[in-house]
Amino acid sequence: MSGEPLLSVEQLQTHFRTPDGVNRAVDGVSFHVYAGETLAIVGESGCGKSVTAMSILRLIPEPPGKIAGKINFLGRDLLTLSDREMRKIRGNEISMIFQEPMTSLNPVLTVGRQIGETLRLHQGLSSAAAEQKAIEMLTLVGIPSPETRVKDYPHQLSGGMRQRVMIAIALACNPKLLIADEPTTALDVTIQAQILDLMRDLKHRVGAAIVLITHDLGVVAEVAERVVVMYAGRKVEEARVADLFANPRHPYTQGLLGAVPKLGSSLTGETTRLSEIPGLVPSLKNKIQGCVFAGRCFMATEVCHTIAPALELKAEGHAAACHYAPVEAVAA
């Protein structure tokens, strides 16, 4: 990708002050997203993925939360904007699809009213124009009989249709950036595939960049171009998706990929046991000396427990934060 990134996150830190100490949920994470691309952020529960997404939109309550660093979107640092300026950006230039649509949608408002609310707020449409646009958005996301469904309440829709409504709300104002936080987690496998196909299709049609938050590497392989791997609040690896799957360089990423079942292995007679990552994620309330993964890593030595590895290029377009990650020559 050439030119300036659409979104550039630099040394993002999101900490929460608790009675037991400071929880370092996101601890110095940097990444960028170009117009029209899909970047996946992956990692297990509690690694800081969703907090990163919420920080971009400044949806972290302060206090107890505190966001520091830089979040540059179209030349503006979002952390320096007033609350009023941020409200103009949320849902308009940057939209978010939340993890569980049943808790994100208002149960006492029709889906048409909820889609229209965004349009009335950001684009000043009348009620009639907003409802017509809502019908167009429901058509766009593949909901049948949109003229009828626009008058339905969330409980009258299936889980997959509710998620499509969430996507319709997110896309209503033609945002430049769409943040999708585990958009398929609560859905069965067939509906997951439909939602992923829909997101991929809509990305090409509306041209929005996507930041996809997920723990599912199958989803990453399906829709993303680049991937950031997070662990214990830090970025430990970043690469193009094909490079990451072909040659993971951080032991944590290797563990994640080793835990993915191989389709058809039982048919070929393979009895390969799924690998597991021993140990537990370290507490984020303690300042971690050295590598955040050292306590669970099969390659860890004394230096790993004392000196934090820098995130460095190990191959063209492939960075990892590991003292022992294999290095290839990188073109100057």
Please give the pLDDT value at position 216.
83
Q: Which residue has the higher pLDDT, 204 or 255?
A: 255
Contact 35, 6 (CB under 8 A): yes
Please give the pLDDT value at position 274.
63
Question: Confidence class of residue 205 from pLDDT cuts 50, 70 and 90?
Answer: confident
Please give the pLDDT value at position 188.
74
| Within-domain flag for 31 | no
Structure tokens at 90: 């949320």
Question: Confidence class of residue 331 from pLDDT cuts 50, 70 and 90?
Answer: low
Q: Phi-psi region for residue 208, left (φ > 0), alpha (ψ -120 to 50) or beta?
A: beta
Question: Confidence class of residue 322 from pLDDT cuts 50, 70 and 90?
Answer: very high
| Within-domain flag for 160 | yes
| Within-domain flag for 143 | yes
* Domain extent for 137: 94-174
- Report the chain's mean pLDDT, rounded to a whole number: 86
| Within-domain flag for 22 | no
| Within-domain flag for 309 | no
- Cα three-residue angle 176-163-202, rounded to 5 degrees: 40
Please give the pLDDT value at position 235.
94
| Within-domain flag for 14 | no
Domain count, the chain: 1
Please give the pLDDT value at position 151.
93
Per-residue pLDDT for 266 more than 60?
A: no
CA distance 260 to 100: 24
Question: Confidence class of residue 285 from pLDDT cuts 50, 70 and 90?
Answer: confident
CA distance 321 to 69: 20
Q: In the predicted model, what is the mean pLDDT of residues 21-43?
A: 91
| Within-domain flag for 229 | no
Please name which of 286, 255, 303 lies closest in space to residue 43, comparing C-alpha atoms.
255
Per-residue pLDDT for 275 more than 60?
A: yes
Sign (positive or negative) of CA dihedral 9, 61, 153, 150 = negative
Sign (positive or negative) of CA dihedral 98, 214, 18, 78 = negative
Please name which of 105, 213, 87 lies closest in space to residue 168, comparing C-alpha atoms.
105
CB atoms within 10 A of CB 254: 19
| Within-domain flag for 105 | yes
